[in-house]
Each structure stands twice: as C-alpha cells, then as structure tokens.
C-alpha cells in the first residue's frame, strides 16, 4: 500500500501555476529522486507535503490519512499529527545556531515527544555515532563545515522517528568536495529501507540510490521511471533535453 498518495496537486502564485495536476504515489521503502530544471516546482511540491506551502487543489494522503482533500485542509491539530510522520532536510540546513549539535538533536523531541529524556539522549548518541560526529556533540553549528551541518540536520530529522524523510536539494548549498559525505549518509538510510523523497541535482546519486526517478518541468511530472530506464532511454523530448544538459 502506498504510504504517500498525491493526487491532482495544484498550486499557483497569483496567475502563475507552479504545480499543475501533480499525481504520484510513494510506497513504503521507496527512494524517489525528483529531478528537473530550477523553477520546475520540485521544491514547492516537496514543501507542500509537510504543509510549508498551501496548495490550491488536490489531495495529499499520508499513511491512509488525508490532511488535505480536494483542496480542503483538515483541522490544524490533524494536519500536525499527519505531517509529523515526515521529516525534512533543507538545502540550507536550518540548524538552530544558538544550540549545540547535541541540543539541536534533543530539544525538538524533548518539547514535542512524550518520551523519557534518557531515551532521547540514547538516540542522539546513537545518531551522532552513525553520522560520525560523536566528537562534535558540544560544538555550535557555526563551527561545523557545510557537510557536517547537513549530516547533523539529517540526524535531527531522524530524532523524531519519521516514517518518511524528505530532502530538499540537500547538497546544493555545499562545496563539491563536501557533497560525498552527505550522500553517503542518505545512501546508508536507503540501505536501512528508509522511505525517502529526494529533490536533487546529483544525477549520479539519483541513478545509484533511487528506485524511481520523477522528472518535473514547468509544474508537471513529465516522465517517471526506474533510473536505469529514465537515464539511459528517456521517452520525452524535454527529459532528453534536460538530461543531455545536466549529464554533460
């Protein structure tokens, strides 16, 4: 059964339609790469899944519960409950600069989740080990490299035990030599069967890790398929043009 069902998503800023009838499903354990040129609506689509953007039409169903149905949103507390199944990693990390790495990880679950503090601390130590930053637990984000910041941001999202993790261009703000360490963490999550949607410009990564690639252009899904098909044998002209530009 699909864990995310998105149907006929529509969004416009004034007269500009940024999303036109976006429809697709995400199954449990899927790793979906969303690719496409800038301004194609990839990020807006992703952000609407966690209610950072209001859509103007369509439905979003998470694990069987719709928080927006035919453009009508559920009650705020229901939206919150349903969207809490998803975690999000941003392009610009959005770590809390006034908190240390450990505090960044532990404050949100302490405030939101009904868990004993020791459980939360245990989980943060585990995740720090996983991202290889145990020695940086008491460091402030200002003293981390971009790659380290993004790994902390991923760990912070995982602290909430999400069922689905969304990545909004997680490596676009990084120096090229730092993207590898972040992609490694995402790859490791894929191996652990984490359900993920990754908006990315890293074609090599999409090809290697995703089990489905969605190509968006101008607010529409143009083509979707397994990376082995979509990258080697794209059907649509726009996909071909985009891939030949970005694989150069």
The residue ranges that bind another protein (CB under 8 A) are 50-52, 80, 83-84, 86-88, 90, 92-98, 107-108, 111-112, 140, 142-143, 156-157, 160
**Other C-beta atoms lying within 10 Å of the C-beta of residue 80:** 13
**The 3-state secondary structure of the chain, one letter per residue:** CEEEEEEEEEEEECCEEEEEEEEEEEECCCEEEEECCCCCCHHHHHHHHCCCCCCCEEEEEECCEEEEECCEECCHHHHHHHHCCEEEECCCCCCCCCCCHHHHHHHHHHHHCCCCHHHHHHHHHHHHHHCCCHHHCCCCHHHCCHHHHHHHHHHHHHCCCCCEEEEECCCCCCCHHHHHHHHHHHHHHHHCCCEEEEECCCHHHHHHHCCEEEEEECCEEEEEECHHHHHHCCCCHHHHHHHHHHCC
Comparison of 51 and 136: residue with beta carbon closer to another protein: 51
- Least distance to another protein from the beta carbon of 23, Å? 24
> How near is the Cβ of 48 to another protein at its closest, in Å?
12
Give the shortest CB-8-to-another protein separation in angstroms.
24
Q: Which is nearer to another protein, 101 or 222 (CB)?
A: 101
Least Å from the CB of residue 248 to another protein: 32
The smaller minimum CB distance to another protein, of residues 35 and 157, is found at: 157
Q: Which is nearer to another protein, 6 or 222 (CB)?
A: 6
Rounded least distance, CB 223 to another protein, Å: 29
Least distance in angstroms from the C-beta of 227 to another protein? 27
Closer residue to another protein (CB): 154 or 213: 154
151 vs 156, which CB is nearer to another protein? 156
């Amino acid at each position: 059964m699909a864990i995310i069902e998105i149907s006929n998503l529509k969004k416009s800023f004034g007269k500009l339609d940024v999303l036109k009838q976006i429809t697709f499903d995400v199954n449990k354990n899927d790793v979906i790469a969303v690719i496409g040129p800038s301004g194609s609506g990839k990020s807006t689509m992703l952000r609407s899944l966690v209610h950072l953007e209001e859509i103007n039409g369509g439905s979003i169903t998470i694990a069987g519960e719709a928080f927006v149905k035919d453009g009508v949103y559920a009650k705020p507390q229901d939206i919150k409950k349903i969207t809490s199944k998803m975690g999000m990693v941003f392009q610009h990390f959005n770590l809390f600069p006034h908190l240390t790495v450990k505090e960044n990880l532990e404050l949100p679950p302490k405030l939101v989740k009904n868990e004993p503090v020791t459980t939360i601390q245990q989980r943060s130590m585990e995740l720090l080990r996983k991202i290889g930053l145990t020695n940086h637990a008491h460091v402030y984000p200002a003293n981390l490299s971009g790659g380290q910041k993004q790994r902390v941001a991923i760990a912070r999202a995982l602290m909430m035990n999400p069922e689905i993790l969304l990545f909004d261009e997680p490596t676009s703000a990084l120096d090229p030599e730092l993207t590898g360490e972040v992609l490694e963490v995402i790859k490791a999550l894929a191996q652990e069967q984490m359900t993920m949607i990754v908006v990315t410009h890293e074609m090599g990564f999409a090809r290697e890790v995703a089990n489905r690639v969605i190509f968006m252009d101008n607010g529409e899904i143009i083509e979707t398929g397994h990376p082995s098909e979509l990258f080697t044998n794209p059907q649509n002209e726009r996909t071909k043009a985009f891939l030949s530009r970005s694989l150069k």
